[in-house]
């Protein structure tokens, strides 16, 4: 074995947790955590899969002792390492994508305005699920999907846009059967024909 290989194996050994508490801390730090930390069952599964350690009572007692000694912080049924930064709640905010195809004229459409549009809606595979040559609605009043309330906002008469509406701003988990399946992202070609204040 070369000296490089020997030093690498020493590095690996020094990073390998030696005690049960070290394994628990390693487990918590190497798993995706929710806002409260990592659950005891997730810790136990990790210890079993990564270290072959399968002694639930000892794991439970070691976690309890570490909480009492201030080495772990318990939040409900989850645990995190004391002194580690708290996990941040990550909320993915779905956003529409707007591509202006043609500029319009006049004042931009605002919430509360009634607009008349021509549109065609398609699924990801190109299937047309709906179209209209003259559709009227009040902007921002919840009469249409959220993606439209956002995507039509500020359009001017004569303007053409392509909208990509993610499922959460469209019909979501329920869809609108039979035309729109659950969790479908939507694509629209929209032209603002008229704005009524």
**Candidates 24, 25, 96, 145; catalytic one:** 145
Question: Which residue in the block uniquely carries the two structure tokens 């359009």?
Answer: 155
Assigned token pair, 150: 């956002």
Assess whether 26 carries a catalytic annotation: no
**Candidates 51, 129, 135, 137; catalytic one:** 129
Q: Is the dihedral of CA 180, 184, 189, 195 positive or negative?
A: positive
Assess whether 46 carries a catalytic annotation: no
14, 17, 18, 19 alpha-carbon torsion, rounded to 10°: 150
Assess whether 188 carries a catalytic annotation: yes
Assess whether 130 carries a catalytic annotation: yes
**Candidates 26, 119, 149, 180; catalytic one:** 119
By three-state DSSP, how is residue 124 classified? coil
**Candidates 26, 46, 79, 188; catalytic one:** 188
Euclidean distance between CA atoms 170 and 85, whole angstroms = 36
**Candidates 84, 130, 185, 189; catalytic one:** 130
Query: Known catalytic residues?
Result: 119, 129-130, 145, 171, 188
């Amino acid at each position: 074995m070369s000296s490089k290989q020997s030093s690498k194996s020493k590095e690996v050994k020094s990073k390998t947790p030696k005690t049960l508490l070290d394994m628990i801390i390693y487990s918590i730090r190497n798993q995706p955590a929710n806002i409260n930390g990592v659950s005891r069952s997730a810790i136990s599964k990790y210890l079993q899969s990564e270290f072959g350690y399968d002694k639930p009572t000892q794991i439970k007692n070691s976690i309890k002792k570490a909480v009492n000694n201030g080495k772990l912080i318990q939040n409900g049924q989850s645990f995190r390492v004391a002194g580690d930064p708290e996990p941040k709640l990550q909320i993915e905010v779905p956003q529409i994508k707007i591509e202006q195809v043609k500029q319009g004229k006049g004042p931009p459409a605002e919430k509360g305005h009634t607009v008349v549009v021509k549109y065609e809606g398609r699924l990801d595979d190109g299937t047309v699920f709906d179209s209209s040559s003259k559709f009227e609605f009040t902007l921002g009043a919840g009469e249409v999907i959220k993606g439209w309330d956002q995507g039509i906002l500020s359009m001017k008469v004569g303007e053409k846009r392509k909208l990509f509406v993610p499922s959460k701003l469209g019909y979501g988990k329920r869809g609108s059967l039979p035309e729109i399946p659950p969790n479908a992202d939507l694509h629209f070609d929209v032209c603002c024909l008229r704005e009524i204040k």
